[in-house]
Amino acid sequence: MDEPRHVSVLLDECIENLNIKPDGIYLDGTLGLGGHSYQIASRLKGGRLICIDRDQTAIDRAGKRLAPFGDKVTFVHGNFSDAAEILEDLGIGAVDGMLFDLGVSSPQLDETQRGFSYLHDAPLDMRMDSSDSLTAYEVVNSWDENRLNRIFWDYGEERYARRITGAILSARQKKPIESTLELVEIIKSAMPAAALREKQHPAKRSFQAIRIAVNDELGAIRQMMDTAPDKLRKGGRLCVISFHSLEDRIVKTGIAARENGCTCPREAPICTCGFVQTLKSVTRKPILPSAEETERNPRARSAKLRVAERV
């Protein structure tokens, strides 16, 4: 069986902004198939790279790709939200750079049995870590009306959230909703004809919402932004790639809280609130993929890279 194809998003921009030192210690908190990690590891001489992923399958695959780098690379099956704790457990006090690519990896989307795709039929799963207990099946078939409506509206930014929730509730009264394409048809049945003619697939936002809920993705990002930057050395870089506005907002707010968190009145001569700046933005606006990259890799279209430095 061929290895899945994956194109790392904003690869050159990430490597440039990490300012990799040959003897530095770096962390890739979202390993995936190891595209970013390979480029980091190839620039290390006496340094070290810590690679984290929730998906053991991803670790197994990337492990083969990164095998030539030997013990310079350490793999950890875990959640990027626990990056600071993972480094503590490894006895690493501080690192020179961190990278977090918050997108779903291409294999997770392309391998139909994982249930992430609205284009292929599969059991309702969507777990990034197959050892987790919560699945898309449970979300769709057991969550109440308010909870379903909230995730479609908040996580999917779906304007037909109430209609889709109503259609799901009605369908599951007759029988459990078991497969991805079954759910797609229910979603489509709730949407007006004009919405079905839009360029974007009608189930895209709803599937995004369910995936975020199953994997508690936004909670993981908040925890990472609250704790991981404390493990950066002075001058160390934090690079975070997000793919939709909810993710980017958390990253932007997390950096701002460490950069401009002083609550003293503007007219106060000195700071008395106790705020200590720990990050500064390297670029005020997020770095976006080039036209050439989006043409080569359409999945990069919505990507935004924010870079901050430890002060």
Q: What is the tens place of the pLDDT at every residue in 206-219?
A: 999 999 999 999 99
- Categorize the per-residue pLDDT at 237 as very low, low, confident or very high, splitting at 50, 70 and 90: very high
DSSP 9-71: TTHHHHHHHHT--TT-EEEES--TTSHHHHHHHTT-SS-EEEEEES-HHHHHHHHHHTGGGGG
Rounded Cα–Cα distance for residues 181 and 166 (Å): 18
Q: What's the whole-number average pLDDT of the chain?
A: 94
The whole-angstrom separation of Cα 225 and Cα 308 is 11
User: Contact 305/13 with Cβ under 8 angstroms?
Assistant: yes
Whether 3 has a pLDDT exceeding 70, the answer reads: no
Question: What are the strands of the beta sheet with 279-281, ordered from one edge?
Answer: 73-77, 48-53, 25-28, 95-101, 232-242, 304-310, 279-281
Say what the pTM is. Answer: 0.92
| pLDDT over 90 (residue 11) | yes
Q: Residue 106: its pLDDT value, please?
A: 66
Q: Give the residue from 176, 221, 209 showing the smallest Cα distance to 81.
A: 221
pLDDT of residue 266: 84
Range 273-283 burial, b when 16+ CB lie within 10 A, else e: eeeeebbebbe
What is the tens place of the pLDDT at every residue in 219-230?
A: 999 999 999 999
User: What is the rounded CA–CA span in Å between residue 248 and residue 16?
Assistant: 20
